[in-house]
Every structure is written in structure tokens, then in C-alpha cells.
Amino acid sequence: MIRSPFFPSASRLALALGLAPTLLAQSGAMPPPPLMMFVREEVKPGHGGPHEATESAWARALAKGKSTDHWLGMEALTGPSEAWFIVGYGSYADWEKKRKEMDASPALKKEIEKVALQDGEHLSGARSFLGAWRKDLSYGPPVEIAKMRYFRTRLFRVKQGANKAFEEGVKTALAAYEKSRYSASFAFYEIVAGLGSPSYIVLRPMKSLAELDGAEAADKAFQEALGPDGQKAMQKVFTETVNAVENQILAFNPRLSFPHPGMVASDPFWAPKAVKDGAK
């Protein structure tokens, strides 16, 4: 018997989101952005508080410089001591435009470089990778990201040349989700730069960790929708195409974020005070 590859029991994690098309920005339910930048920072043990303070200083500097390059920050509740950051873009041109904001303001660039040095004292490493939204591999309606408090993530490392077979397996699972009337949404991003092998990340937001309590029942319905033959076929596909899978659960942290004003207006959780004071 095979479990759902994307939303299995609480011990197997996945992640999905609905975000503003050009930024992690405004209120209301919106589709995922076409491009997503993921940044993973390895935070030294015991440096969580000081790291939050430097991230808040970073946000204050960008707010003062009127930057439009907003992001959401999260802390890992599982796995290594990490902070994750996500930034949505409408296109490569949009990404380039945001990058040029810094060059247009020497004072802001100098301030950010100063904060970056301070931030580096609390890190043991960092990595970024860029993902392109795959609407054809995603499921469910958009969500209002401002109302979410957690993410589940699942990063697939796929064997060279096995992309198409892997994607066909995903589509088989999507049909079973539809048949079982799976209630959550998730988004698939194909990693286009930053990782060394074909990779995909599945994203799902949650308002509460209590949503995981219903995972077993949802997984049972998914299995029944697949049927015995479908379970065997999908198990075969993923065994033959996937090298490794990494699961994480993350909690949004306003003190690690530089949210769009629309998000702040939508939910006081993202209020500027929480970003600016650097307090725990």
C-alpha cells in the first residue's frame, strides 16, 4: 500500500501556497507567483534571537529605502537549525527590476552591506534556489497567505533524465486527489537554478498544525481513490525516478519577514512593530 506522495501522514510532509502573482504581497486569495526565490540560512545553535534582530534591521533598512522587494521569513521546526525566506516574482524582468533597486540607492546598498556582515556572524551557511511554478502539477484553489502560520515542504531530487516520468506520476496522484476530494491546496515548483540535480519543491500552507491531525483520513481516501493497481503503478514510478526526498515543517516569523503593506493590513500578525522591534 502506498501513501500519498505529497500529503501523507503527519510524519511525511509537503507544502503548498497561494501567493500574489508578482510578490508575496496583498490580501485575499491569489495564485502562486510564476517565479519563487527560496533562501535557506543555516543558523548557528543559540543564535536564533540575534539572527532575528539582524533580519529585523535588514527589513527596517529596506523600508526606509522604500524597497518593493518583499519577502516572508520562516523558522524550521524540524531538521537543522534554519531560517527560510521566500520571494515571489511575476517574471525574470520583475526579478531584475528588484535587483536594480539596490544599485539605484548607494546609501541603502551601504546599509544593507553593513547589516549583511552582522547577519553573517550568526550563520554557518546559506543557499538560494529559484523555482518556476508548474500549474499543471499543482492542486486546489489559491489561499490567502496572510492568514497562514505554517508551511510544509517536500523537496524531491529526481534522477537525471527522469523528469517526464516523475511528472506523469505526479499527474496520476493529482487525479486521485480530485477523486478523493482532497480539501487542501498545494503548489509545485520546478527548480530552474541553484541546485545540482533535477528538483521540485511542493508547497502547502497551513493555518494551524492541527490540520495535520486529519492527514491519516485524507491519506486513506487518497489510497482508495488510487486503487490497488494505481498504488502499485505510482510506487513504481517514484521508486524509479526519485533519488531523495527532504521533508520540513516551517513556521512563519514576522521578525524574519519584510511583508507587503497589504499583508499587514490584512492580518495584525504581520504588523510592522513585530518586524521592527527585533524582540522575541
- Which of 31-40, 209-218, 221-230, 264-273 comes out lowest in average pLDDT? 264-273
Higher pLDDT, 64 or 162: 162
| Per-residue pLDDT reduced to its tens digit, 22-57 | 344 456 788 899 999 999 999 999 999 999 999 898
pLDDT of res. 199: 97
Full DSSP string of 75-102? EESSSSSEEEEEEEESSHHHHHHHHHHH
If you average pLDDT over residues 174-180, what whole number do you get? 93
Residue 16 covered by a domain: no
Residue 27 covered by a domain: no
**What's the CA gap between 72 and 174, in Å, rounded?**
28
If you average pLDDT over residues 223-239, what whole number do you get? 91
Residue 58 covered by a domain: yes
Residue 26 covered by a domain: no
Q: Which region holds residue 59: left if phi is over 0, alpha if psi is between -120 and 50, else beta? A: alpha
pLDDT of res. 27: 61
CATH of the domain at 52: 3.30.70.100
**Domain limits for position 151:** 35-276
- What is the pLDDT of the chain when averaged over all its residues? 85
Residue 146 covered by a domain: yes
In this prediction, residue 277 has a pLDDT band, given cuts at 50, 70 and 90, of very low
Residue 145 covered by a domain: yes
Residue 147 covered by a domain: yes
Residue 14 covered by a domain: no
Higher pLDDT, 86 or 277: 86
pLDDT of res. 116: 87
Q: Which is nearest to 155 in space by CA: 194, 124, 188?
A: 188
| Per-residue pLDDT reduced to its tens digit, 110-148 | 888 898 899 889 999 999 999 999 999 999 999 999 999
- pTM of this structure: 0.85
Of the chain, the percentage scoring pLDDT greater than 70 comes to 87
Q: Which residues pair with 125 in a beta bridge?
A: 42
Q: How many domains does the chain have?
A: 1
